[in-house]
Structure 1
Amino acid sequence: MNDKRILDSKEERIENLENKLSEVEAEVENAKLTDDNEDYFSLKNNEDAITYFENKGINSEELILRIEDEIISNNKAGEDNPLVPMDGMEGNMRINKIKVLNHKWIIADFTDGTYWGEVFLSYQVSEDGAIEFFSEKSFIYPQY
């Protein structure tokens, strides 16, 4: 009789673990789908934009790094980043995060340490490889 209780207990434990495993596998699959959706608007996964640059002889992966470097290099000591079309109120505006959406658009996050917002940029790559940025729209989140 004791062996039957032990066997039933082990079977119940196995069933609970199998249920937990199924739940975790479902969460992992959901996370993969979420990642795919978040990367949809990214130059890294945009075949049309990649082809656009390939036709111009430009490596899109290297271009993304150059874009990020050029934008961040505008974060200078004692100055607002000129790509942020508003002055810092509690410090200098700095761009923190950048996402290159496609062959024409970028979105970036900025802050002065107290206030923060986002800026929508467009860009052009000239024949000589120089990158020119244009601030299109921006906003600051309200403080709560």
Structure 2
Amino acid sequence: MKNVILYGLIFSVLFNIFQYVNSTKILDAKDQEVTKIQQRLKTSRDSVATLAMANYFSLESDEDAQEYFYKNSLDYQKVAEKVKEDLLVLNENKNGNILIPYEPIDGKAFLVNTSKILNHRWLIAEYSNGDLWGQILVKYFVAEGKPTDFETVETVLYERPTKE
């Protein structure tokens, strides 16, 4: 009978040691997993914060600009679509978009490719002629039932990279 109790005691001690080692390994693995997830979460939060800052100057996030349109009984989303359409209509000129103050180079006219409306008064656009490109800051004025009036504020034309 003493042998059975001794064997039972040894078995229970070995079983407890096994459980302790196994549980420790599982906890360490879960701790590493939690650390990795926390790092991913921090990276994701930083990315979201960066995106929020990148979209800071945008009609979609500027409540004051939206309120300006609402006071004039206009929907800012429809206004944004109209402004972008009217801007692209100016590309139909054979000498290029009239907002871009550069004459065609090598027979290639400058056209607006994409634009972003910053607020109720300004937009920024990227333009190119296939070889050269630049950006333009434009002031715009919207009146219901009329085409959008545009006024060039400033332009930047980037130099062609030199081949070495």
TM-score under structure 2 length normalisation: 0.76
Give the 3 Å change call, closer, same or farther, for CA 5–129 of structure 1 in structure 2: farther
| 1-structure distance, mates of 2:93, 2:33 | 55
- Give the Å deviation of 1:66: 0.8
Q: Secondary structure at the match of 2:92?
A: coil
Equivalent residue for 2:32?
A: 16
Q: Write the letter of the residue equivalent to 2:155.
A: S
Counterparts of 1:1-144 in structure 2 under 5 Å?
A: 10-76=26-92, 78-90=94-106, 91-126=108-143, 128-144=145-161
Give the 3 Å change call, closer, same or farther, for CA 77–130 of structure 1 in structure 2: closer
Q: Write the letter of the residue equivalent to 1:82.
A: I
Give the 3 Å change call, closer, same or farther, for CA 80–2 of structure 1 in structure 2: farther
| 2-structure distance, mates of 1:93, 1:23 | 46
* RMSD (Å), alpha carbons: 2.3
| Count of aligned positions | 144
More helix by share: 2
More strand by share: 1
Contact 2:95 2:103 in 1 (8 A): no
Question: Rg larger in 1 or in 2?
Answer: 2
| 1-structure distance, mates of 2:93, 2:19 | 74
Unaligned runs of 5+ in 1: none
Query: Which range moved further: 129-138 or 68-77?
Result: 68-77
State percent identity of aligned pairs.
22
